[in-house]
Chain A
Amino acid sequence: MNDIYSESPAKPRPQIALENQSYWDGLRRHQLLVQRCLTCAKLRHYPRPMCDACYSFEYDWHALSGSATVHSWTVTHHAFHAGFKQDLPYVTVTADLRDGIRLQAPLAGSDVNLAVGARLDLEFIDVDAELTIISMRIRA
């Protein structure tokens, strides 16, 4: 259990779309899975039914490695959702993975000096028995 998720009020949980269960199941196994088109091999994220390059509905799930770089970020100082009030201030990064795929993830620590291109390591945080999320950490 990660302590940032242990106190009330509850943080919002993902409203998992029908075809996205494999993504969240992958996180439970500490794997970052993105869709790969079975017709043209284009990777895509966030998950969606169709490939926008070749219009194929056929895809499998492809595991990405755990390194990334900073694309942008924000530091939140105002609790827009009560579930995050005890975390203020907190950093959220937009992180570049590969092939144009990005993630948004919390960044461990709020007093870090960030810059575009800074190297990040990806971590898996087991929130509870059902939910794992991705977090980022500045590479030492």
Chain B
Amino acid sequence: MINLCDKAAVSGVGETAYTRETDRSQLSLTLEAALNAVLDAGLDPKDIDGVIPYASGGVVAEDFITNFGIADLRYSAQTPMGGASAVAALQSATMAVATGVAKHVLITLGRGSISGGRISDQLTRMPQMRLVSEFEMPIGTNAPAQFYAHMARRHMELYGSTSEQFAEVALTCCAHAQLNERAMMRKPMRLADHQNSRMIADPFRLFDCSLEGAGAAAVVISSAERARDLRCAPIYIGGCAEGHPDSPSAITQRRDLTRLGIANAAPIAFAMAGVTHADIDVAEIYDCFTYIVLCQLEDLGFCAKGEGGHFVANGRIRLGGDLPINTHGGLLSEAHIGGMNHIVELVRQLRGECGERQVTNAEVGLVTGFGDLGDGSLAIMHR
């Protein structure tokens, strides 16, 4: 196999403002973030010759040809893995630029206003939700909070993890958001606030759930050689991989409800990057729900299965701790930009651009994606 280590780099990042509602289309937001990423790289939009738009929603490669006036788009793909899509796209883009199929691949993710439709209606139309639509939605299992609540409850019963341990993830993200002017959640959160927030789908309370919002983010992936000649210091992709759980379309039928697809991907990405867990200075962990962070930390190998609740305690995952996570506030407290905001934040951390929330001497970092009932993806990057 061709070793993809350091063959590609993030050459540009960009985003829009993140807001609760918007009167702009998903396409308009996506193009703004994409343009910002291209300009950050010091490129012209017409230099983009590869595009991987977010698979959920209406933005397609053709939109970039039309709006950027790209004369010869050489590569387009989608990575339909829900919240794992953005990080999985890093792997596809890395392959495209490492092989020379494309020079500069743009990866985008935009979300329009949430008032357009009920989430259960949107999910029903997705082919990967076919089994859930037929067998679970008719009995009242209609949304991700409910799908994943069964995984979280199983973990609590098997390993004794607690709602207070889940809360530490929410409190960490909220504390970090206070240092990020882009974040939507600017009100501090105490443990009591979390424990008193209303129950949504037991064991998930309101503050275990990510923020719905509107906005877009984008990154440009270039070959490492080309990235070195561009405007910003390249952030190299040392290792990347995607992983899928068994029974990927029905959590109910999965052999182990507490094991996610990222457990398959993590050893591949660490080996490719040639780093160990102790080398990771900062980690942006996909956090649609608090429990999903605990479970990924276990499946990534930062601690043993069942130990995630203990691992996050005592400030370990906060700024100044051994493994600061979600330094921007994550989906829980910055905004739910599908995890593309996690990639943008990791790049800025490794560039040293994060001001008050900068992790001191951040050289190596990790970003994950999680979605579609258990799919996972991760990338290990370095400056």
Which residues of A does B touch, CB under 8 Å? 11-17, 20, 45-46, 71-78, 80-82, 84, 87, 89-90, 92, 94, 100-106, 115-116, 131, 133
The reply to whether B145 and A78 contact each other, CB–CB distance below 8 Å, is yes
Residues of A within 8 A of B149 (CB): 74
Residue of A nearest to B253 (CB): A102
Residues of chain B in range 128-182 having any CB-CB distance to chain A below 8 Å? 130-131, 133-143, 145-146, 149-151, 153-154, 157-158
* Number of residue pairs spanning A and B whose beta carbons lie under 8 angstroms apart: 113
Chain A residues whose C-beta falls within 8 Å of the C-beta of B138 in the assembled complex: 11-14, 131, 133
How many chain B residues touch A (CB < 8 A): the figure is 37
Contacts A77-B202, A92-B141 given; does A45 touch B154 at CB 8 Å: no
By beta carbon, the residue of chain A nearest B251 is: A94
Contacts of B118 in A (CB 8 A): 80-82
Quick check: B154 and A72 within 8 Å, CB to CB? yes
Q: CB distance B139 to A72 under 8 Å?
A: no
CB distance from B185 to the nearest CB of A (A): 19
Q: In whole angstroms, how far apart are the Cα atoms of A105 and B134 in the complex? A: 13
B362 within 8 A of A: no
What residues on A are CB-neighbors of B228 within 8 Å?
A: none
Q: A14 CA to B131 CA in the complex, in Å?
A: 10
> Which residue on B lies nearest to A127, using beta carbons?
B138
**Contact of B139 with A92 in the complex, beta carbons under 8 Å:** yes
B-side contacts of A76, CB under 8 Å: 140, 146, 201-202
A131–B138 Cα distance when bound, in Å, is 10
Interchain CA distance A82-B137 in the complex, whole Å: 12
Given contacts A84-B142, A87-B140, contact A14 B199 (CB under 8 A): no
Q: What is the interface of chain B mostly: helix, strand, loop, or mixed?
A: helix
Contact A104-B139, Cβ < 8 Å, known A12-B120, A72-B257, A81-B120: yes
Mark contacts of B110-140 with chain A using CB atoms, 8 A cut-off: 1 yes-contact digit, 0 otherwise. 0000000011100010000011011111111
Residue among A46, A106, A131 making CB contact with B250, cutoff 8 Å: A46
Known: A46-B135, A74-B146. 17 other contacts (CB 8 A): A11-B138, A14-B133, A15-B133, A46-B253, A74-B150, A78-B145, A78-B200, A80-B118, A81-B137, A89-B199, A92-B140, A92-B141, A100-B253, A104-B135, A104-B136, A106-B139, A116-B157
Which residues from A are CB-within-8-Å of B203? Answer: 74
CB distance from B156 to the nearest CB of A (A): 9
Are A75 and B135 in contact (CB-based, < 8 A)?
A: no
Which residues does chain B contribute within 8 Å of A20, judged by CB atoms? 134
What residues of A have a CB within 8 angstroms of the CB of B158 in the complex?
Answer: 116
Pick the contact of A102: B119, B137, B252 (CB < 8 A). Answer: B252
Given A77-B198, A84-B142, A133-B139, do A72 and B134 touch, yes or no (CB 8 Å)? no
